[in-house]
């Protein structure tokens, strides 16, 4: 009897999945397939156009020439556009604050019609995550700040605002140390928490920075994107790509720094010092 019930449940869920898939129309591009509801064709066309452009820009920015021949035919990324925020939340099982997400192992991006920030923020962010993980894989140790920093860097509409905020943060000297960022999994911090974080100021004096979880999360992501921007703008895409390749091949972050940036910095502390100089124009 239990087997029959399990089979019936599986059959019903499988058929509902097929029915949901049949609700979508498809729009195919070179590297993406957009699944959309028929009444939203114009938005689907806009999504596909933006996605293809982001693909080219991200590959160029990160120096990943190999991507010119990848994500083709059956390897194309699928983008699902649901008709409303509620239908997106139901399909994705994401919390209410979510307006888009990606499954990196299945190469799927999900959003909804005219979703908040989807075209200029969520779409480039998630495509970057997909491309970066496609390059470095999931087995090597990749610092979270690097993964998130790259994805934010490709949200180009935010770059000017980010630079203004990070410059203000440097002036106030309210910075997390890179060592602390390396040890921190920001995904486990709740915005309502009050966190005590150690950091070191410019004179090498250990201090304690006290802040809410929300402020800590914002500061972490701000520093992450500014670090990536510093590495790419100051030293170029090719060197940055080589740095990521070293991490992909199993080297520690300091081994990767010594290999790719030997003439500039060899340790986490060296990287942090040069990063601070760059933004302070010392």
Q: Which residues 6+ apart lie within 8 Å of 127 measured at CB?
A: 51, 54, 55, 58, 77, 109, 154
The answer to whether the Cα torsion of 12, 15, 21, 22 is positive or negative is negative
Higher pLDDT, 112 or 203: 112
The answer to whether residues 141 and 252 touch, using CB atoms and an 8 Å cutoff, is yes
CATH architecture of the domain covering 22-136? 3-Layer(aba) Sandwich (3.40)
pLDDT in tens, 213-229: 888 888 999 999 999 99
Q: DSSP class of residue 267?
A: S
pTM of the predicted model over 0.85: no
What is the distance between the alpha carbons of residues 178 and 163, in angstroms, rounded to a whole number? 18
Buried b (16+ CB within 10 A) or exposed e, 61-72: bbbbeebeeebe
* pLDDT of 139 higher than 90: no
Q: At 218, is the secondary structure helix, strand, or coil?
A: helix
Higher pLDDT, 167 or 112: 112
pLDDT in tens, 198-209: 766 666 667 777
Domain ranges across the chain: 22-136, 144-280
């Amino acid at each position: 009897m239990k087997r029959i019930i399990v089979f019936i449940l599986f059959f019903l869920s499988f058929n509902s999945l097929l029915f949901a898939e049949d609700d979508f129309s498809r729009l195919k591009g070179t590297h993406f397939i957009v699944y959309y509801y028929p009444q939203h064709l114009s938005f689907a066309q806009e999504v596909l156009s933006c996605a293809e452009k982001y693909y080219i820009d991200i590959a160029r920015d990160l120096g990943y020439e190999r991507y010119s021949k990848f994500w083709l035919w059956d390897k194309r990324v699928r983008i699902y556009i649901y008709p409303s925020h509620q239908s997106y939340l139901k399909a994705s099982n994401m919390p209410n604050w979510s307006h888009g997400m990606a499954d990196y192992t299945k190469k799927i991006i999900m959003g909804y019609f005219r979703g908040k920030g989807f075209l200029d923020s969520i779409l480039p962010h998630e495509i970057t995550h997909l491309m970066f993980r496609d390059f470095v894989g999931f087995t090597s140790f990749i610092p979270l700040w690097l993964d998130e920093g790259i994805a934010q860097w490709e949200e180009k509409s935010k770059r000017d605002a980010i630079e203004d905020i990070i410059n203000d943060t440097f002036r106030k000297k309210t910075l997390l140390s890179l060592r602390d960022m390396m040890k921190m999994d920001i995904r486990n911090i709740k915005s309502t928490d009050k966190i005590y974080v150690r950091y070191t100021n410019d004179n090498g004096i250990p201090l304690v920075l006290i802040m809410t979880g929300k402020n800590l999360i914002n500061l972490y992501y701000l520093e992450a994107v500014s670090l990536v921007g510093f590495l790419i703008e100051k030293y170029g895409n090719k060197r940055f790509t080589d740095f990521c390749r070293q991490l992909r091949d199993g080297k520690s972050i300091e081994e990767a720094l010594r290999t790719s940036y030997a003439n500039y910095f060899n340790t986490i502390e060296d990287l942090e010092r040069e990063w601070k100089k760059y933004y302070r124009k010392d």
